[in-house]
Chains A and B, each alone.
Chain A
Amino acid sequence: MRALRALLWKDALIELRSAERLPVLALFSVAILLTLHFTLPPTSEARTPAAPGFLWAAIVFAALLELRSSLESERRDGTLDGLRLAPVDPTAIYIGKVASSVAVLAVLEAALVPLVALFFTGRASGVAPAIGVAVAGTVGLVAWGTLFAAVVGGTRAGEVILPVLLFPLIVPQTIACVRLLAMYLTGAPLDDPATAFVLLAAFDVLSLGTSILLFDHVLDA
């Protein structure tokens, strides 16, 4: 816990001081939403039902940027070697990285979800639970992503390989998240919301558990 607190304190301080990651991620996500928005005709009725998918796509692409920069900055500054040498459980390093990325993306989602509600669906009532769903989906996404970012880090093709490895694994999270987001943001009926919540939670637990077990070996490789 001591090491984890120190890691979170350090990442928060760096983020607050640099104020680099969030503005870049926000601009990038808005650019994706805008681009996707213009793929539909102006009067298209598909705009509302497509909004949850657009939102999740923006979150996933922003997460890819975040995942690359989170571990790469440690690698670039040589501090990843310092962390490997320190007498701390690699799980603390992994959880620290996941928590810091989830926190950054959660702030982003707290801004993106109301934007989508405002410009795409016009339904404000489901914004708060939709943010909760987005954050829950992000946990699993970042859990796998942090592991794979450590695997491909330092390689020239890393930027390409990361999504290739990550995207197939997050299909269950994508399905559950988009359906729940649709329910909250558009009011689309969902036959069995409980199953979607269980799927989301199960994949969060699975991705975190598996990555915790493997991270030590990845760091050591």
Chain B
Amino acid sequence: MTAAIRLRAVAHRFGGTTVLRGVDLRVDPGERVAITGANGVGKTTLLKLIAGLLRPDTGDVTVLGGTLRDPRVRARIGFVGHQPFLYPRLTARENLRFWARMYGSTDDGVAVLRHLGLDADDTRPVSAFSQGMRRRVALASALGHDPELLLLDEPFAGLDDAGVSAVAGLLTDGGRTVVFATHAVDQPAPRVDRLLTLHDGRLER
């Protein structure tokens, strides 16, 4: 079976600081993996390396059987980072429509947005939204093209209890591969298959 994510001896430095030192990871299709660790330990860097936003200094990253240079691979990934990919001047619906078009999808994620408790017909620009509302829109946008692999950085940050439950429910739906990073292990979270801890630049069980 081809791994959904395969990292071999991945190392990454920022300036003189080594953030990741030889990370090996295999995530199988449909698996849900949570990566925990203290702030600044490199969780975001690891997710960005998997998503292709960063390149490893050494080692290699394979995602969905290919490289992230291939747009067909990128089309099968959904990513929600610290900064939601949202245009502040556009409404939630306009943002969803824009990203759906960029992914060639006809489903613009409006149903997901409603499920997350936001009115898709809201005429306010996203800049008027709270952090939690923006994260919901970002998640709806990332799910709009029905990705096989979903990468989430602190998906529960800024969400109220209802938001956490709604997001947790979405992450366990559809049998997709999910990898998310969180610093709060005690937070209500979706049931995961594996919980990994990033410590001193390496992943530990």
Binding site for B on A (CB under 8 A): 2-3, 5-7, 9-10, 13-14, 17-18, 77-79, 81-89
- Among the interface residues B87, B94, B102, which one has the most CB atoms of the partner chain A within 10 A? B102
Of B23-31, B69-77, B168-176, the one with at least 4 CB within 8 A of chain A: B69-77
Shortest distance in angstroms between A79's beta carbon and chain B's nearest beta carbon? 5
Contact B102 A83 (CB under 8 A): yes
Q: Which residue from chain B places its CB closest to the CB of A79 in the assembled complex?
A: B85
Determine the distance from Cα of A77 to Cα of B89 in the docked complex, in whole angstroms: 11
For A86, the chain B residues whose CB sits under 8 A away are: 74, 99, 102-103
B50-109 interface (Cβ within 8 A of A): 51-53, 71-72, 74-75, 77, 79, 81-90, 94, 98-99, 101-104
Shortest distance in angstroms between A72's beta carbon and chain B's nearest beta carbon? 14
CB contact under 8 A between A87 and B72, given known A10-B90, A13-B90, A81-B53:
yes
CB contact under 8 A between A87 and B89, given known A78-B81, A81-B81:
no
Shortest distance in angstroms between B80's beta carbon and chain A's nearest beta carbon? 10
Shortest distance in angstroms between B26's beta carbon and chain A's nearest beta carbon? 22
Q: Which residue from chain B places its CB closest to the CB of A93 in the assembled complex?
A: B102
Determine the distance from Cα of A10 to Cα of B96 in the docked complex, in whole angstroms: 11
CB contact under 8 A between A87 and B71, given known A78-B83, A79-B85, A82-B85:
yes
**Which 6 A-B residue pairs are closest in the complex by CB-CB distance?**
A82-B85, A78-B83, A87-B71, A6-B101, A87-B75, A86-B102
Judge if B125 is at the interface, Cβ distance under 8 Å.
Answer: yes
CB contact under 8 A between A14 and B90, given known A78-B83, A78-B84, A85-B74:
yes
Shortest distance in angstroms between B128's beta carbon and chain A's nearest beta carbon? 12
Q: Which secondary structure dominates where chain A touches chain B?
A: helix
Determine the distance from Cα of A220 to Cα of B40 in the docked complex, in whole angstroms: 24
| Band of interface residues on B | 20 to 34
> Can you name 30 A-B residue pairings with CB atoms under 8 Å?
A2-B101, A5-B101, A6-B101, A7-B102, A9-B98, A10-B90, A10-B98, A17-B90, A18-B89, A77-B83, A77-B87, A77-B88, A78-B84, A78-B85, A79-B86, A79-B87, A81-B81, A81-B83, A81-B85, A82-B79, A82-B85, A85-B52, A85-B79, A85-B85, A86-B102, A86-B103, A87-B71, A87-B75, A87-B102, A88-B71
Contact B102 A6 (CB under 8 A): yes
For A89, the chain B residues whose CB sits under 8 A away are: 71
Task: Identify which of B86, B94, B101, B103 contacts A77 (C-beta below 8 A).
Answer: B86
Determine the distance from Cα of A14 to Cα of B94 in the docked complex, in whole angstroms: 11
Determine the distance from Cα of A79 to Cα of B103 in the docked complex, in whole angstroms: 14
- Among the interface residues A9, A18, A78, A86, which one has the most CB atoms of the partner chain B within 10 A? A86
Determine the distance from Cα of A82 to Cα of B81 in the docked complex, in whole angstroms: 9
Contact A10 B87 (CB under 8 A): yes
Shortest distance in angstroms between A127's beta carbon and chain B's nearest beta carbon? 33
For B88, the chain A residues whose CB sits under 8 A away are: 77
Determine the distance from Cα of A172 to Cα of B159 in the docked complex, in whole angstroms: 55
Shortest distance in angstroms between A73's beta carbon and chain B's nearest beta carbon? 9
For A81, the chain B residues whose CB sits under 8 A away are: 53, 81, 83, 85
- Among the interface residues A6, A17, A79, A87, which one has the most CB atoms of the partner chain B within 10 A? A87
For A3, the chain B residues whose CB sits under 8 A away are: 101-102
For B99, the chain A residues whose CB sits under 8 A away are: 82, 86
Shortest distance in angstroms between A68's beta carbon and chain B's nearest beta carbon? 18
Q: Which residue from chain B places its CB closest to the CB of A74 in the assembled complex?
A: B87
Determine the distance from Cα of A13 to Cα of B51 in the docked complex, in whole angstroms: 29
For A77, the chain B residues whose CB sits under 8 A away are: 83, 86-88
For A5, the chain B residues whose CB sits under 8 A away are: 101
Contact A87 B103 (CB under 8 A): yes
Task: Identify which of B51, B83, B94, B104 contacts A87 (C-beta below 8 A).
Answer: B104
- Among the interface residues A14, A84, A85, which one has the most CB atoms of the partner chain B within 10 A? A85
Task: Identify which of A14, A82, A83, A84 contacts B89 (C-beta below 8 A).
Answer: A14
Shortest distance in angstroms between B125's beta carbon and chain A's nearest beta carbon? 7
